[in-house]
Amino acid sequence: MGQVGLSEAPFSESFAATRLDWIVNWARKNSLWPMPLGLSCCGIELMAMIGPKFDLARFGAEAARFTPRQCDLLIVAGTMTWKMAQAVRLVYDQMPEPKWVMTMGVCSSTGGMYDSYAVVQGVDSILPVDVYVPGCPPRPDAVIDSIIKLQQRIQRERPVKDLIEGIPDYADVGTGHTLHQPNRAVAHKKLPALPTRPSQD
Amino acid sequence: MTSEKQAATQARVAAVLTGSNGVQGLAVDAIGIDHDGMVCVTATPEQLHEVCVLLRDALGFESNTFVTARDHGVGREQRFEMFYQFLSVAHVDRVRVRVMTTGDDPEVPTITDLWPGTSFSERECWDLMGVRFSGHPDLRRLLMPQGYDHHPLRKDFPHVGIEPDKLYNQWDEERRAAFAISEAERLEGKR
């Protein structure tokens, strides 16, 4: 009996050789279940995006779950106030890993035109954000485009490496953006040192 | 220009408020007509409650539209001016009461006992302008988080806020500390 190569039919049709990272990422990116956190007018565009006209189901992300326990993608749609920030942070903490955050619209990305005492100047003050979508509010096309960009990004992740080494400590920390927000009242504050990845030894 | 309707309302209100069973010390010229054409009663904080009782019981103003305040600027002796507006559906009529207060932390009597729905307006006014309502049953903040130290709609409040993230960071630190303790206990139980 001669040597059987992987390329010989019909044996090769029964399996596909791939990397574990690739197949895990492929499954993750095509079943992004969003948590629709509609805080203001962006929520309306969010509903239109999930509805039949723009049809987010084409990208595997149509199953909007209203409990954080079943979600992968937190879409912060709209102006986030400091009073709401505690609720948003709790929702993020209750989501199981792996999880991603998207800020929809300028208000949640940077505070937008609300440079005010009540509004958080960017969700990245309190959460690690993966994708920012500009617009006031952004069209559903723009958000779908960012979901595709997020999918490309997820495809480059290394889940097996994270499994072995553990998720880094700084994964749930924001950028500290709150301390250099455009507010003149706090502009004089010094930036904190960002936490660093623990050394290998 | 004053219409007949406004003049009639002014006469009706003046007759009751300054009549024989009227408010003590309220002069006839305290009932005027504002530049927007609404009949306006200018009262002192002591007279306010009595005026409101008469407006409700004798004149038939059965609902309170809003309670709000105006900040005339830092350093003024009479800094906050209160505005109360009332609506009478039966008479198709409105009336306004304005009250000047003194000092940076003014206090006026509540009218929650006359119109229970005023409670929210007064809480909002305390929250944003810092006017205390003595006798209010539940004077908590309405919009800003509980525990905030400032009143955002005052003239000396910077529009970017004073430490807007303070309460959030406090909450976050407490939450992380509680989580660290429970996590340590969980690991202890595993051993």
Q: What is the DSSP letter of A198?
A: P
Hey, are the CB atoms on A118 and B157 less than 8 Å from each other? no
| B60 close contact with A: CB closer than 8 A | no
Residues 6+ apart with CB under 8 A from B58: B16, B21
All domains of chain A in start order, with CATH: 32-165 (3.40.50.12280)
Half-sphere exposure of A11 (CA within 13 A, CB side): 6
CA gap B178, B15 in Å, rounded: 65
Hey, are the CB atoms on B161 and A125 less than 8 Å from each other? no
Question: Looking at chain A, which residue has its C-alpha nearest residue B152?
Answer: A117
Beta bridge partners of A73: A34, A100
Per-residue pLDDT band for A12 (boundaries 50, 70, 90) equals low
State ipTM: 0.78
Between residues A37 and A9, which one has the greater pLDDT?
A37
Residues 6+ apart with CB under 8 A from A181: A111, A121, A122, A125
CATH homologous superfamily, domain B4-149: NADH:ubiquinone oxidoreductase Nqo5 subunit (3.30.460.80)
Q: What is the domain partition of chain B in residue ranges?
A: 4-149
Helices (H), chain A: 20-29, 42-50, 82-94, 106-110, 140-155, 159-165
Residues A92-120: tens digit of each pLDDT: 888 887 889 999 999 888 888 888 888 88
Hey, are the CB atoms on A117 and B167 less than 8 Å from each other? no
Question: Looking at chain B, which residue has its C-alpha nearest residue A173?
Answer: B172
Residue B113 has which token pair?
């006992």
Hey, are the CB atoms on B160 and A183 less than 8 Å from each other? yes
CA gap A28, A155 in Å, rounded: 9
| A118 close contact with B: CB closer than 8 A | yes
Residues B120-146: tens digit of each pLDDT: 999 999 999 999 999 999 899 999 888
For chain B, list residues with pLDDT below 70.
Answer: 1, 191
CB A105, CB A112: distance < 8 Å? yes
Chain A residues whose CB is inside 8 A of the B171 CB are: 86
CA B167 to chain centre: 25
Q: How many CB atoms lie within 10 A of CB B66?
A: 14
| B166/chain A closest Cα distance in angstroms | 9
Q: Residues 137-166, chain B: which have Cβ within 8 Å of A? A: 144-145, 152, 157-165
